[in-house]
Structures are given as C-alpha cells and as structure tokens.
Structure 1
Amino acid sequence: MEIVFTVLILLLAVAASGVVTRVLPVTPPLPLVQIVIGALLAWPRLGLHVTFDPDLFMLLFIPPLLFADGWRIPKREFFMARRSILMLALGLVFMTVLAVGYFVHALVPSMSLPVAFALAAVLSPTDAVALSGIAGKGRIPGRLMHILEGEALMNDASGLVALKFAIAAALTGVFSLREASISFVVIAAGGLAVGAAVSWLFGFVSSRFLSLDEEGDPAPGVVMTLLIPFAAYLIAERFELSGILSAVAAGMMMNHTKITHAGPASSRVRASSTWTMIEFVFNGMVFILLGLQFPHIIGRALLDAHETSNAQVWKLIGYVAAVALALYALRFVWVWLLRWFASRGAAKQGVANAVPGLRTVALTTVAGVRGAVTLAGVLSLPEVLSDGAPLPGRDLAVFIASGVILVSLLVAVIALPLLLRGWRRGKDPHAAEEALARTLAAQAAIRAIDQMHDAEGQDREEAEAAYAADVTARVMDLYRRRLAALDDVKESRELARRADALEFRMKLAAMRAERQTLLAMRTRHQINDETLNKLMREVDLSETALTVRKR
C-alpha cells in the first residue's frame, strides 16, 4: 500500500509541476520546478523518501525515454552531424574520464584512482531532456540542438561502459586498455544490432498479425510499441551488451517499420498521444526523483561536515566547484578545438571566415547539463570491496556528482538565456523542402481526385454525374488553394492566404459550435455519453488536424 501511495504522490507532483509553470508570473524551466517539488517532498515533516535503486531506475525510466528520443530525432541531420556527435559522445567522454579522473585524484588524494575514474565516467554523459526543458523549445539553433541531442543519446552508453571498467578496476585492481577497447566495440555494436533487430521483428509481427491494413482496435499495436524499449534493453543486457544503445537503436529503427507509415490513422494518433504522455510523466518522475535525493545526499553530507568544522563544509563545496570548473574547461577546449579543425578544413576548400564562433562554443559548453543518468551511475558504485572493506571515497564521489548535477542545472538556467539573447535564427533551413513537399503532395492529391472522378463518372445518369462533378470540384478546390498559397506570385499568394485564414476561422468556429451543441444535447439527455464521446472525438480530430496544419 505504501508503494501505491508513493507512486500516486509522484504522479500528482508531475501534474502539479505543469500547473505551477503556467500560473507563475515568470515561467521557470520545467525540470527545475520538478527538482524543487521533489526537494520539498523530501522535507522531514512530509516524510516522503524514495530509495533510489540505480538498476531499477535504469530499467524503468531510461529505455523508454531514449527510445522516444531516438524515434523522434531526425535521422538525416543525425547522419550529417555524425562526426561532431561521435567526437563529443566518444572522444570527449574518454578524455573526460582520463583528464577529470586524474584531476579528482590529485584534488582528493584519499580517493583511489579507479574511483576517481568512475566519478569522471558518470559525470561525462549529458542530458538533452534537461537542456531542452531549460532552454525552451526551438530556442537553440537546429543544427546545434541536433548535435547536442545526438551526443546525449550516445554518450550515456560510452560513459556507463567506462564506469563498468572503472568499477572492475576498483574491485580487482586490474585494468587492460586493450581489453577495455575491444569490449567497448563489442558492447556498443552488439547493443545497436539488438535494438535494430527488436524493432524489425516488431514491424514484421505487426504487419503479419495485427492487421495494420484494416480499421480495427489500435490498442494492441500501441501496447507493443510500449514494450519495445524494455525488450531491447533487457535482451541486450542479458547478453552483456549495451542496453542503452539498444533502446536508442530500437527507437531510430522505428521509422523504418511498417506501423509508422501504414495502417489506420487512428493507430498513429493514439500512439503519438500515448508517447507524448509517457515522455511527460517519465521525464517529470526523473527530475522529481532527483529532487528527492538531493536533500538526503547533499544535505546530510554538509551537516556531517558541519559537525566536524566549517572548514570541512567549505572544502566539500570547493570540491564540487573545482570539478564543475574542470568539466566546463575541458568541454570548452574540446569544442573549440573541434570547431577550429573544422574551420581549417573548410578554409582549405575555399570557405572564407570559417573560424570558431566563441558564442557557439560557449553555448555548447554550458549546454553540457548533467542529469539522472549521472546520479544513477554514481549510486551504482559498490559500497564494499571484494574483501568486505568499504570502498574508499564512494560517499564523497556521490556528493560531488550530486553537486555537479545541481551546479550544471543552475548554470544552464542562468547562462543559456543570456547566450541565446539576440541570437539571429535566420531562415528555417527546412522551409524550402517543406514547401516542395506540400506542393508535390497537393498535386498528387489533385491527380488522384481527377482519376477517381473519371472512374466514378462512367455509366452514371446526368444528375448523378453533375453531383459527382460538384463534389470533385469542392474537394479539388482545397488543394488548389493550397497550391495558390505556395505560389511564387505575391498577389495570388497573399489572396490565397487571406482566404485560407478566413476558412480557418470559419471552420474553427463551426467545430466549436458543434462541440457546444453536442454537450447541450447530452445535458438535455438527447444523446448518451457513448454517442457524445464518439462525436466529440471526430470533432477533436478534425480540429487537431486543422490547428496542426495552421501552426
């Protein structure tokens, strides 16, 4: 019963966080609000404490979130930026493990080198979810955001694999760079292959047994999509491969399965709304769980240090500040060097003024926000060695990692709006291809309508043929106006857009009037709830399609 009560409280907290961001006069970043709510729930008088099990956390929360990110991320842009993504997700991670590991060991000599490497490994993954929540949707330039999202998708696996070898070295005192390198390649490639295979198998089963080409209940297909990330993660982990990369690969493979582009629209609509809700709830739970842990980890450590002396408190705070500065400095230098080498290559090809932009480098540096994977990783450090002795430096590593997470979030909240202020976004690079796609789709629709009119008009009486011609003209007029709105001639384009705007307002007013009438009929008991829900869903889907296209 206590578990049920705790889950309900956490869900209520997630919902309340969305309400709080709307009612406050200044809109704070949603992740920060959720962390504050979690910290308030951890207040002693409320008595809510959730034991953070790293293995359970990694199984329940990380696979579906990474699966959804992999499904959503544009694959073309991901492939185009593959060099930058790999240099950040692999190169920067391993440089962080080495440089920051030695730095932490020098800063805190009592912490063994393997534990210092383990701390550096868990600090290397970044959190794109927290970043987008802090910066706001669409604020960061598209190409840079694609790189940061791709980095966050891939560096979770590289950081946790590095953590695995650091823990093994801490427990056994043995480390082989050659063996670690070979194991990393096998673990990463195997995880990617497992994830792709699971998604492909799902698409195969769906096309054979779920009747995707027929109108039916879409629930079985939606439920199966919910199971894919967990299946990919568990199967990969069962064979000691990367479950994280497996979940990412499964999500990226979903765009190539039949269920994403075939079958009834109801399946896609329901799957989209379901995954939107899951992402909101799971992301919220992740940050609230972070907030729940911070008072117990950071507060207890500072109180224990205060009982010793005030100098010990400042020493702990100094450790967090020094490690955070080291991470920012290393990331800044690494990103600047990447852009410098890229500019040198562009200059050799005759591209002028291809120099690293300091503002972009600073933005990329500050965007390296740490999140829940870091906390789960550091809490997975074993408490005792193989001989039963306590692992030296573990508690300090947990404190430093928690402090760095908090610092990175606060720095991003303050610095990102300042760096993005006055940023010229320029024209949407995808506007031209969107216009071309709309034009070709409308032309294809007109041809299909014309062909159907010819087929339907054969062997009809004069009255039926005239009626069919009227219907054809009305349907075709919609697509002709869409083409006119995309025309290069300014006058015809503006006229079509004004007509389109008027039609939009009329249709919206009509749909709202439909909705009010249906509700009034239910109130007067002229229709029952089942009829109301069916008709309201039709109106809602029509209004959704209308507003999405207008947006």
Structure 2
Amino acid sequence: METITIVLALMFAVVVSGVASRLLPLPIPRPLVQIVLGAFIGLVADWRVTLDPEIFFLLFLPPLLFLDGWRIPREELFRDGKTVIELALGLVVFTVLGMGLFIHWMIPAMPLAVAFALAAVLSPTDPIAVSAIAQRVPIPSRMMHILEGESLLNDASGLVCLRFAIAAALTGTFSPRDAVLDFLWVALGGIAVGTGLTWGVGKVKNWISRRLGEDSGSQILISLLIPFGAYLVAERLHCSGILAAVAAGLTMGFVEGAGQAQALTRIRRATFWDVIQFAANGIIFVLLGEQLPLILARASETVQLTGHHAPWWLAVYVVAINLGLAAIRFLWVWLSLRLTRFMSRDQRASPGWRITAAMSFAGVRGAITLAGVFTLPLAMPDGAAFPARDLAVFLAMGVIITSLLAASIGLPWLLNGLTMPAEPSHQAEEDAARVVAAQAAIAAVERVQHDLAEGRSDVDLYFAAAARIMDGYRQRIETRQGNIEANAAERRSERIERDLRLAALKAERTAIFRMVRKRKLGSELARKLIRELDLLEARYAG
C-alpha cells in the first residue's frame, strides 16, 4: 500500500511541476522545479524510495531512448551525421578518459575504475532538459537536431563505457583487447537485436491487421512492449540493451513509414507516448529530489572518503567537475565544428564563439546521468560495499543540478539573437509533395466514383459529390504550382482561413457544452461531436 501511495505522490508531483514552472515569473526549467518538489516530499513525508539499479534501468531508459530514436528527424540526423558522431562518440570517449583521470587525481580515494564509471555517467547529455531551459528562448532548429542526435547516440556510448568501467571495478582487471572485442559484440549485437526484433514485430503486426482488422489499444501496447523486449533480449545475450532500445526506435520509424496504421491509432499512440515521456522524465527528477535530503544528510560521512572533514569540499568537487566538463566540451565542439568544415571544404565563415559556447552550455546532464549512476552496484562480489558509491552518486547529483542552474542562466543569454547558418527552405519540397498527394487523391476519387455509381439510378449524386471533392484538390494543385508571389498570397489566405476556422470550432464546442449543461443533448452524442471538433482543431492548429 505504501509503495502505491509513493508512486501516486511522485506522479502528482510531476503534474504540480508542470503548473508551477508556468506560474513562476522567471524561466526556471521544469527539471529544477521537479527536484525541489521531490526534496519537499522527502523532507515532509520522510519517504525513502530504495532503488534497485537493474529495475531502475529497465523501467526508465528503454522507453525514453526508444522514443528519442523513433521521433528524431532522420534526414537532419544524416545530414549532420559527422558532427553528431564526433560529439556522440569521440566526445564521450574523450570525456570518460579525461574526466576519469581528472576525478581520480582530484580525489585519490576514489578508485580509478570508479572514477571512469562516474565520468561515463556524466558524459551523456539530456536534450529534454535543454528544451525545458530554452522554452522562452527557442533553440535554432539545426542546433537542436544536432543536440538530439548527439544525445541519442551518446546515451548508448556513455552507458556502454559505464558497463566496462563497472566490470573493471568489480574484477580489478582490464584488458584493452578484450574490451574492444566485447565492445564490438555488445554494440553490434545490441543494434542487431533492436533492429531485428522491431522489424519482425512490425511485419507480424501488419500481417495480422490486414487479415483481422486493427485494434488501436493492442497497437499502442505493442509499441510500448517493443523497447522492453529489445532491452531484455539483448541483455540476456550479453549485448547492450541500451543500443537495442535505440536501434528499435530508429527501426520503428522506418517500419511505420509504410503507413499501415489507422489514423486514429496514430493519434492515440502519439498522445500515449507524450504522457509516457512526460511522466518518466518527471518521475526521474522527482526521485532525484526525493533522494537529495538523505544524501545531504550523509554529506559529513561522504566527505571523509576524500580525506577531508568539511562538507563544503563536496561543493568544491562538484564545481571543479562541472568546469572540467565544460572545458572539455567547449574544446571538443570548437575542434569538431572546424574539422567538419575543413573536411567538407566549406568556404563559409567559421562558427562564432557564441555558437560554440551555446553548444557547450547545452551539454546539460539529466535523466540519463541519474539513471546511470543509480546502476552502480551496491556491493562487490565478496559482499563488501562498492567503493565510493555514495560519493559518486552525490557528485553526479551535484553536477546535474549545477549544470541545470548554469544552463538556465547562460543558455538563454547566449541564444538571444543567435542565428545559425541559413537553413535550406523546404517549401518547394512541401509544395511538390502536396501536389503529388492531390493528384493521387483525384485519381482515387474518380476510380471509386465509377465503382460506386455503376448500375445505380442516382448516378448524378455520385458525380456531384466527386466533383466537389476534386475541385478542392485541383485548387490545391493550382495554388501550389503557381509562382512564388501567388503561393505567398495563398498561404496568407490559408492562415486567415485557419484563424477563422479555429474561432468557428471554438464557438461550436461552446454551444455543444451549453446544450449538455441544459440537458438538451446526451453525453454520448456530445462526446462524439466534441471529438470531431477536437480532431479538426488539431488539424488546423498544427
């Protein structure tokens, strides 16, 4: 009973955080509000959630990484693939090596393998936290695509490095040759499992839907089970469950490209996954805050591991680690952007210091870092406590909070008025796609019209209905194939029409709710009408 109460309290805290972050006058990111609420719960209710590392990893990481892979714009990811790989792989290895040695030098009491493990969990970035920070100062789209791609891949690479660091800490040995071979098996095996399982499930699901019809609830549940299935199968084969979840998400994007799912299923599934993402990320940060009072209470004991007695030394270490991470990221971003420009022989002006600094500030640590640090084992194989685990957890939490605070102050300032290199316009591509779709629609209407009207006495009704529909599509083709000035005028007209339609839909909805309150309309029929209006509003508002 108490466990259920705690879960409900955490979910309620996530809801409250969404309201509180919008009410606050300052642009305080939602993750910070969730941490504060979690700390409040931990202090007032005196609840302590004991987190099993394996369960924590399984519950939160597969769905979040799967969704990131599913929704990431693949074309933008491939376009900036070199930069993304340099940040997601090269920067991770550079961070693990550099920060691992730096942390061990700064805190000799922390074993080198544990220092590398801490550096590994600190290497992934969290684009969701960045988006929350930049809500009032939007991040340029190309920069956000690079950050999303980096986060998608560095989650996997950082956590794979964590796996090897933990193994070295538990066994006391490390072989570069064995590590390379294990890495290839872990990485390639995880990718193969995620890709193969998702492709197979997609084929079976589509085959059943074609023959037996589609059930939206089952389709949504299958999409939820895929990342967990990929993760568990990969871990059973001693591959990377993280890479399996990422590969499953990327493959899901290709599988769904066939477009066999019903429109209603896609709408419901998108809403369902939005809730999963919001709740999972929120609960992770609330759990961080909930654990914070207990960790701070043990600060006096934790600092003794470092050879000091004053707790403020822990704050010094947190600041030093943040500065080290910032310096490494700034240097790597600076080199990466120039290397990519040199290899592509781009003669345009090199990115300014503000772009480099903004990319560096955007390296905020968040949910993945917290999830990773909680996976550090509680004990060694001989039953002894895992060395410096409490210190590693404290430092990771300190880095998360400090990076959020630093980015919430520095990133909006850097992004204010910042312009990225000009993006190519996709308007011509959109116009061409709309024309092709309209031509296909006209051909389908003509074909179905003749099939339905054949042998009927009311043929004129079918021809009249088809004519009205085809006239609308022909108008779309004419406007999209016109000159640039005509297209611009047509789009202004469309915006005006959209605003008028939204006002009309709002008035319709208000009238229906008024009829329900006056008991002039039944609730079931009202729900049907309101849903139709909501779908139309989503179409025009989108």
For the criterion TM > 0.5, the same-fold answer is yes
- The alpha carbon displacement at 1:428 in A equals 6.2
Identify if the C-alpha distance between structure 1 residues 12 and 405 changes in structure 2 by more than 3 Å, giving closer, same or farther.
same
For these two proteins, the number of residue pairs brought into alignment is 540
Match in the other structure for 1:208:
207
Match in the other structure for 2:523:
529
Matched, 1:199 2:198: yes
Match in the other structure for 2:355:
360
Alignment of 1:98-497 (within 5 A): 98-136=97-135, 139-211=138-210, 214=213, 217-257=215-255, 261-301=259-299, 312-346=310-344, 349=345, 351-424=346-419, 426=422, 429-453=425-449, 464-465=459-460, 467-483=461-477, 485-486=479-480, 488-489=482-483, 492-493=486-487, 496-497=490-491
- The alpha carbon displacement at 1:250 in A equals 0.9
Give the letter for the 2:146 counterpart.
Answer: I
Match in the other structure for 1:96:
95
Q: TM-score, normalised by structure 1?
A: 0.89
Identify if the C-alpha distance between structure 1 residues 495 and 473 changes in structure 2 by more than 3 Å, giving closer, same or farther.
farther
DSSP 3-state at the match of 2:363 = coil
Contact 1:485–1:497 at 8 Å: present in 2 too?
no
Instruction: Give the whole-Å Cα distance in 2 for the aligned partners of 1:380 and 1:4.
Output: 23
Contact 1:213–1:263 at 8 Å: present in 2 too?
no
Identify if the C-alpha distance between structure 1 residues 460 and 182 changes in structure 2 by more than 3 Å, giving closer, same or farther.
same
Contact 2:67–2:249 at 8 Å: present in 1 too?
yes
5+ residue gaps, structure 2, are: none
Match in the other structure for 1:30:
30
- The alpha carbon displacement at 1:36 in A equals 1.9
Alignment of 1:13-92 (within 5 A): 13-43=13-43, 45-92=44-91
Match in the other structure for 2:9:
9
- The alpha carbon displacement at 1:496 in A equals 3.6
Contact 2:190–2:243 at 8 Å: present in 1 too?
yes
DSSP 3-state at the match of 1:373 = helix
- The alpha carbon displacement at 1:236 in A equals 0.8
DSSP 3-state at the match of 1:61 = helix
Contact 2:230–2:244 at 8 Å: present in 1 too?
yes
Instruction: Give the whole-Å Cα distance in 2 for the aligned partners of 1:486 and 1:327.
Output: 49
- The alpha carbon displacement at 1:4 in A equals 1.0
Contact 2:355–2:418 at 8 Å: present in 1 too?
no
Contact 1:52–1:293 at 8 Å: present in 2 too?
no
Instruction: Give the whole-Å Cα distance in 2 for the aligned partners of 1:497 and 1:431.
Output: 11
Identify if the C-alpha distance between structure 1 residues 383 and 541 changes in structure 2 by more than 3 Å, giving closer, same or farther.
closer
Give the letter for the 1:544 counterpart.
Answer: A
- The alpha carbon displacement at 1:497 in A equals 4.2
Post-superposition Cα deviations, 1:366-418, rounded to whole Å, max 9, x if no partner, equal: 11111222223223333444444444433322222211111111111111101
Identify if the C-alpha distance between structure 1 residues 521 and 2 changes in structure 2 by more than 3 Å, giving closer, same or farther.
same
Give the letter for the 1:12 counterpart.
Answer: F
Post-superposition Cα deviations, 1:254-313, rounded to whole Å, max 9, x if no partner, equal: 12225861142111111111111211111211221122222322453158759x999722
Relative contact order higher in (CA < 8 Å, ≥ 6 apart): 2
DSSP 3-state at the match of 1:257 = helix
5+ residue gaps, structure 1, are: none
Instruction: Give the whole-Å Cα distance in 2 for the aligned partners of 1:364 and 1:411.
Output: 13
Instruction: Give the whole-Å Cα distance in 1 for the aligned partners of 2:13 and 2:294.
Output: 19
- The alpha carbon displacement at 1:472 in A equals 3.1
Contact 1:203–1:259 at 8 Å: present in 2 too?
no
Instruction: Give the whole-Å Cα distance in 1 for the aligned partners of 2:500 and 2:375.
Output: 58
DSSP 3-state at the match of 1:51 = coil
- The alpha carbon displacement at 1:457 in A equals 6.3
Identify if the C-alpha distance between structure 1 residues 441 and 324 changes in structure 2 by more than 3 Å, giving closer, same or farther.
same
Instruction: Give the whole-Å Cα distance in 1 for the aligned partners of 2:22 and 2:454.
Output: 58
Contact 2:228–2:245 at 8 Å: present in 1 too?
yes
- The alpha carbon displacement at 1:424 in A equals 2.6
- The alpha carbon displacement at 1:221 in A equals 1.2
Instruction: Give the whole-Å Cα distance in 2 for the aligned partners of 1:23 and 1:440.
Output: 46
Instruction: Give the whole-Å Cα distance in 1 for the aligned partners of 2:177 and 2:307.
Output: 45
Match in the other structure for 1:545:
539
Post-superposition Cα deviations, 1:35-76, rounded to whole Å, max 9, x if no partner, equal: 222122222x33233223322121111111111111100122
Identify if the C-alpha distance between structure 1 residues 377 and 496 changes in structure 2 by more than 3 Å, giving closer, same or farther.
closer
Contact 2:83–2:337 at 8 Å: present in 1 too?
no
Instruction: Give the whole-Å Cα distance in 2 for the aligned partners of 1:481 and 1:149.
Output: 38
- The alpha carbon displacement at 1:506 in A equals 4.8
Contact 1:450–1:472 at 8 Å: present in 2 too?
yes
DSSP 3-state at the match of 2:364 = coil
Pairwise CA RMSD of aligned residues?
Answer: 2.8
- The alpha carbon displacement at 1:485 in A equals 4.7
Instruction: Give the whole-Å Cα distance in 2 for the aligned partners of 1:267 and 1:58.
Output: 29
- The alpha carbon displacement at 1:458 in A equals 6.2
Match in the other structure for 1:500:
494
Contact 2:88–2:151 at 8 Å: present in 1 too?
yes
Contact 1:210–1:221 at 8 Å: present in 2 too?
no
Instruction: Give the whole-Å Cα distance in 2 for the aligned partners of 1:163 and 1:456.
Output: 63
Post-superposition Cα deviations, 1:468-499, rounded to whole Å, max 9, x if no partner, equal: 44423432343344345545446644654465
